[in-house]
Chains A and B, each alone.
Chain A
Amino acid sequence: MHANTTEQPPPDKSETGRRSFIASFLAVMASAVLVLAPVGAGIAVLLDPLLRKRRRVGGAVKIANVESVPEDGTPKSFQVVQERRDAWTLYPPEPVGAVYLRRTEEGKVQAFNASCPHLGCFVNFVEGEFVCPCHDSFFQPNGERINPETCPSPRDLDELAIDEGHLEQGEVWVDFKNFRTGTSEKIPKA
Chain B
Amino acid sequence: MTDSPNWLEHRTGLISFLHEALYENVPGGSRWRYVWGSALAFTFFVQVVTGVFLWMSYSPSAQTAWESVYYIQFEMTGGWLLRGLHHYTAQMMVVLLAVHLAQVVLDRAYQAPREVNFWLGLILALIVLALALTGYLLPWDQKGYWATKVATGIAGIVPVVGPWLERLVVGGPEYGHLTLTRFFALHAGVLPALLALFLVLHLALFRRHGVKAKDPHRAPDQFFWPHQVLKDAIACLVVLGIAFACVFFAGTELAAPANPAEEYPARPEWYFLFLFQMLKQPIFAGENEVWGAVILPGLVLLVLVGMPLWGRVKLGHWLNVGFLTFLFVGAAALTIQAMRQDQANEDFLAREAQEHVTAERVRVLAAGLGIPPAGAIQLLREDPLLQGPKLFARHCASCHSHASGNSSQDIVAEEVSAPNLHGFGTSGWIRGMLDPERIASADYFGNTIHAEGEMVAYVQDELSEEDPETVASIALALAAEGNNLASDEQDRTDEIEAGREYIADTCTNCHRFQEGDLEDYTAPDLTGYGGDEWLRGIIRDPAHLRFYGENNDRMPAFGTEDILKEEEIGLLSNWIRGNWYRPTSDTPEAAE
**Taking beta carbons and an 8 Å cutoff, which residues of A are in contact with B?**
1-3, 6, 8, 10-15, 20, 23-24, 26-27, 30-31, 33-35, 37-39, 41-48, 51-52, 83, 85, 87-92
Indicate the member of A31, A33, A83 with the most B CB atoms within 10 Å: A31
Bound-state Cα–Cα, A154 to B397, Å: 70
Knowing A3-B223, A15-B222, A87-B71, the reply to whether A48 touches B77 (Cβ < 8 A) is: yes
Contact in complex: A24, B42 (CB < 8 Å): no
Bound-state Cα–Cα, A31 to B18, Å: 16
In the complex, what's the smallest C-beta–C-beta distance from A136 to chain B, in angstroms? 38
Bound-state Cα–Cα, A77 to B52, Å: 45
Contact with A along B373-405 (1 / 0, CB 8 A): 100000000000000000000000000000000
Closest partner residue, chain A, to B221 (CB atom): A11
Bound-state Cα–Cα, A85 to B75, Å: 13
Within 8 A of A (CB), among B76-91: 76-79, 81-82, 85
Contacts of A24 in B (CB 8 A): 225-226, 230
In the complex, what's the smallest C-beta–C-beta distance from A85 to chain B, in angstroms? 7
Contact in complex: B226, A3 (CB < 8 Å): yes
Contact with A along B28-56 (1 / 0, CB 8 A): 01000000000000100110011011101
Indicate the member of A20, A24, A87, A91 with the most B CB atoms within 10 Å: A87
Contact in complex: A11, B56 (CB < 8 Å): no
Contact in complex: A6, B23 (CB < 8 Å): yes
Knowing A23-B230, A48-B79, A90-B371, the reply to whether A42 touches B50 (Cβ < 8 A) is: yes
Closest partner residue, chain B, to A94 (CB atom): B373
In the complex, what's the smallest C-beta–C-beta distance from B140 to chain A, in angstroms? 13
Contact in complex: B76, A45 (CB < 8 Å): yes
Contacts of B244 in A (CB 8 A): 37
Contact in complex: A44, B222 (CB < 8 Å): no
Contacts of B22 in A (CB 8 A): 1
In the complex, what's the smallest C-beta–C-beta distance from B218 to chain A, in angstroms? 13
Contact in complex: A23, B226 (CB < 8 Å): yes
Knowing A11-B25, A45-B82, the reply to whether A39 touches B49 (Cβ < 8 A) is: yes
Can you name 15 A-B pairs with beta carbons within 8 Å?
Answer: A1-B18, A11-B220, A11-B221, A11-B223, A34-B45, A37-B240, A38-B50, A41-B78, A41-B82, A44-B78, A45-B77, A48-B78, A89-B67, A90-B370, A92-B372
- Pick the residue among B221, B229, B230 that contacts A12 (CB under 8 A): B221
Contact with A along B155-194 (1 / 0, CB 8 A): 0000000000000000000000000000000000000000
Contacts of A45 in B (CB 8 A): 53-54, 56-57, 72, 76-79, 82
Top 9 nearest A-B pairs (CB, nearest first) are A90-B370, A42-B53, A44-B78, A30-B233, A11-B221, A88-B71, A24-B226, A27-B230, A23-B226
Q: Is B68 an interface residue (CB 8 A)?
A: yes
Q: Is B534 an interface residue (CB 8 A)?
A: no
Contact in complex: B371, A27 (CB < 8 Å): no
Closest partner residue, chain A, to B29 (CB atom): A12
Contacts of A89 in B (CB 8 A): 64, 67, 370-373
Query: 7 new A-B pairs (CB below 8 Å) besides A27-B230, A85-B370?
Result: A30-B230, A30-B234, A30-B237, A38-B46, A38-B49, A45-B72, A89-B67
Contact in complex: B70, A27 (CB < 8 Å): no
Contact with A along B347-376 (1 / 0, CB 8 A): 000000000000000000010011111000
Contacts of B373 in A (CB 8 A): 89, 91-92
Q: Is B236 an interface residue (CB 8 A)?
A: yes
Contacts of B209 in A (CB 8 A): none
Contact in complex: A30, B221 (CB < 8 Å): no
Contacts of A11 in B (CB 8 A): 25, 220-223
Contact with A along B499-514 (1 / 0, CB 8 A): 0000000000000000
Q: Is B565 an interface residue (CB 8 A)?
A: no
Q: Is B19 an interface residue (CB 8 A)?
A: yes
Bound-state Cα–Cα, A48 to B52, Å: 15
Closest partner residue, chain B, to A51 (CB atom): B77
Q: Is B207 an interface residue (CB 8 A)?
A: no
Bound-state Cα–Cα, A24 to B223, Å: 12
Q: Is B227 an interface residue (CB 8 A)?
A: yes
Closest partner residue, chain B, to A23 (CB atom): B226
Closest partner residue, chain A, to B372 (CB atom): A90
Contacts of A13 in B (CB 8 A): 220
Bound-state Cα–Cα, A88 to B63, Å: 11
Contact in complex: B85, A38 (CB < 8 Å): yes
Closest partner residue, chain A, to B68 (CB atom): A88
Contact in complex: B70, A88 (CB < 8 Å): yes
Bound-state Cα–Cα, A33 to B57, Å: 25
In the complex, what's the smallest C-beta–C-beta distance from B298 to chain A, in angstroms? 35
Contact in complex: B237, A34 (CB < 8 Å): yes
Bound-state Cα–Cα, A90 to B81, Å: 25
Contacts of B53 in A (CB 8 A): 41-43, 45-46
- Pick the residue among B25, B78, B240, B371 that contacts A34 (CB under 8 A): B240
Within 8 A of A (CB), among B204-242: 220-223, 225-227, 229-230, 233-234, 236-237, 240
Contact in complex: A2, B226 (CB < 8 Å): yes
Contact in complex: B225, A48 (CB < 8 Å): no
Contact in complex: B25, A41 (CB < 8 Å): no
Contacts of A1 in B (CB 8 A): 18, 22
Bound-state Cα–Cα, A137 to B247, Å: 56
Contacts of B45 in A (CB 8 A): 34-35, 38
Contacts of A48 in B (CB 8 A): 57, 76-79
Indicate the member of B42, B45, B233 with the most A CB atoms within 10 Å: B233
Bound-state Cα–Cα, A30 to B241, Å: 12
Knowing A41-B85, A88-B70, the reply to whether A27 touches B49 (Cβ < 8 A) is: no
Contact in complex: B42, A2 (CB < 8 Å): no
Bound-state Cα–Cα, A13 to B68, Å: 57
Closest partner residue, chain B, to A24 (CB atom): B226
Contact in complex: A44, B372 (CB < 8 Å): no
Knowing A45-B57, A45-B72, the reply to whether A10 touches B49 (Cβ < 8 A) is: no
